[in-house]
Amino acid sequence: MQLTVTGKQVDIGSVLRAHVEESLESILTKYFKTAIEAHVVIAKEAHLARAEVSLHIGRGIVVNASAARNDALTAFDSAAERVAKQLRRYKRRLRDHHAKIPELAEPMESARDYVLAPPPDDDVEEEPSAGAPTVIAEISTEVPRLTVGEAVMRMDLADAPVLLFRNRSHDELNLVYRRADGNIGWVDPVLDPARRDRRLGPSPGRAIS
């Protein structure tokens, strides 16, 4: 596994770096041995230290966790524990996914991820000619083809608020997201069945409903 440890206004000494490496190796050995790379960022945040851990453990699967504590070591340990909890929760599914990777033939769907500037403050008058929001970043991304359960798992592992995916059951775009009440929302457009039939098309072994 390739590991990078970065400090932002924090000195990453050899003791902390060794602790990070040892802790992540221990977690991955216990739950998921085939991680590709790991990134750890420790930054100063007011009077606290914040640790952000990101593990790339398989095709399209990323585990993210963060924590803020009084010192860098405690912050990292808290974030690492969250990573371990996530891997423990999805241990069986992740191993099944890894075993099926060589059988996956369908490519990921390419997309563009845009970062937009926030709207102006209330006391700033917007120009009359203002149209679409200002794009401040453009990133290449991919839309995975998943079941709803797989989409929820990936969103949870990535600690993301929302995940766009193509539903494997009918090949249309769906979305899962975190609700304010703690539950998971799922958006599945109601489409004309004939449109879905045309999109899927008849194929051996595929039932058209």
| Domains and their CATH numbers in the chain | 2-100 (3.30.160.100), 106-200 (3.30.505.50)
Residue-wise over 92-129: b if at least 16 C-beta within 10 A, else e?
eebeebbeeeeeeeeeeeeeeeeeeeeeeeeeeeeeee
- Three-state DSSP class for residue 97: helix
* 13: exposed, middle or buried (Cβ count in 10 Å: 0-12, 13-18, 19+): exposed
For the four alpha carbons of 136, 152, 154 and 183, in that order, the dihedral sign comes to positive
Q: What is the pLDDT of residues 19-53, one digit of tens each?
A: 999 999 999 888 877 778 999 999 998 899 999 99
The crossing angle, in degrees rounded to 10, of helices 14-31 and 72-89 is 10
Residue 94: is its pLDDT beyond 90?
A: no
Report the alpha-carbon distance of residue 194 to residue 201 in Å, rounded.
10
Report the alpha-carbon distance of residue 49 to residue 74 in Å, rounded.
9
Q: What is the pLDDT of residues 112-169, one digit of tens each?
A: 788 888 877 666 565 655 567 788 888 787 898 999 999 999 999 999 999 999 999 8
